[in-house]
Amino acid sequence: MPSPTATKANEKQQACKKLTSLLHKDYGSMSVPKLNLPVLETMLFAACLEDNSWEEAEQGYERLNRLYYDLNEVRVSSVAEIEETLCGVRSGDWAGLRIRSILRFVFESTYTYDYEKLKRLTQDSAQKRLKKINNMSPFIRNFTVQHSLGGYLVCLDKLSTRAAIHLGIVPPDSTEEQAGDFLKPGLKKAETHGFTCALRCLATDPQFVDRLSEPPDEDEEFNVKLVEERYHSLKKPRKRKKKKKPPVVATKAAAKKKKQAGEKSDAGKKAVKARSVKSSSSEKTASKAGTKKTVKKKTVKKTSSVKKQTSRKKTTAARKKTTGKSTAARSTGKKTKTKKTVSKTVAAKRKPAKKKTTGRKKSTKKK
């Protein structure tokens, strides 16, 4: 299998010629469309042409110029509004976003809608200038350089690169720019535009769009010389691959080994089940014992708490009784003391009167 780097320029030229002749047979040897537009309008047309046929791009570009008053109105409008005007164009949201970003960049840099000064630059400087535009795709950049500056480039979009990968003229997993650089040695400068237009007819054909969107078969080898076979196989319906079954060995020794292995596996499963049953039963018994212990502990705690509460009640009752007795004794003692003091005072008052009377009597007797 030849590697992509080992393919020669002569092989690429032969493959491109074969492919163009096959495409002209199916889609007709149409005249290559020419484009004579200013630089800014060329970029806008390229945004409509990306991933679409030439007729669809012309219709979308004509509708854009007819429904809007001028380019300033397009620049100010939203992406959704531009997408509505480009109805019928594949991936119209991306086309509307790129059209608006192109107009904004040109107006902010020149304050006009004239970008003819790009023709004065070289191809490399023009490429660098166009890379500054936001959301600019490689296809629009290469298309403007090819048609406005006369550059020698192969302009391929996503659908065209997919078609080239399926046909085997481009290495798999290659980007748009890589595919164009790979095909450039096999095409002359005057043949690039016609080749890309013919390849676009195949890429945008409704019969093959779904087929080309799928990834190519991994078993297919990369060989530029097999373009014709790939093209005819692409037209045919895709075959469904059958899953390969593992080879079956029907020997006696293998059958015995399988039986022994099955018996061992069954015995191992039974042992595992028995162990699991034992472990589950032991866990259950342990859980039951643990629950009994916890119940006993709870009952012991409850009885101890009850005893403590009863003892506390008894002590409080005894304290109340003792305090009541002491208060009663104190009250009775006070009462007896008061009675004694009163009797003493009364007796003290009465005694001196008796003594006086007795003295008087004695004096009277002596006389």
HEC profile of the chain: CCCHHHCCHHHHHHHHHHHHHHHHHHHCCCCCCCCCCCHHHHHHHHHHHCCCCHHHHHHHHHHHHHHCCCHHHHHHCCHHHHHHHCCCCCCHHHHHHHHHHHHHHHHHHHCCCCCHHHHHCCHHHHHHHHCCCCCCCHHHHHHHHHHHCCCCCCCCCHHHHHHHHHHCCCCCCCCHHHHHHHHHHHCCCCCHHHHHHHHHHHHCCCCCHHHHHCCCCCCCCCCHHHHHHHHHHHHCCCCCCCCCCCCCCCCHHHHHHHHHHHHHHHHHHHHHHHHHHHHHHHHHHHHHHHHHHHHHHHHHHHHHHHHHHHHHHHHHHHHHHHHHHHHHHHHHHHHHHHHHHHHHHHHHHHHHHHHHHHHHHHHHHHC
pLDDT of the residue at 34: 84
Token pair of 116, please?
A: 């003819």
Contact by Cβ (8 Å): 155, 184? no
Set out the domains of the chain in order of their start, with CATH numbers: 1-30+153-237 (1.10.1670), 34-151 (1.10.340.30)
Tell me the torsion sign for CA atoms 187, 188, 193, 198.
negative
CA–CA distance, 162 with 198 (Å, rounded to integer): 14
Q: Mean pLDDT per 10-residue run, the chain (367 residues)?
A: 68 90 83 86 95 93 93 94 91 94 95 93 93 94 94 93 91 91 92 92 90 77 85 77 51 60 66 67 59 54 64 71 60 53 55 45 41
Confidence at residue 31, expressed as pLDDT on a 0 to 100 scale: 67
Quote the pTM value.
0.64
Angstrom CA distances, 73 to 7, 78, 307, stand at 50, 10, 97
Q: How many Cα atoms within 13 Å fall on the side-chain side of residue 119?
A: 12
- Within 10 angstroms of residue 288's Cβ, the number of other Cβ atoms is 10
* In contact, 19 and 186? CB cutoff 8 Å: no
Residue with tokens 């009775």: 332
Q: What pLDDT score does 83 carry?
A: 93
Please give the pLDDT value at position 124: 92
Amino acid letter for position 190 = A
Separation of CA 92 from chain center: 26
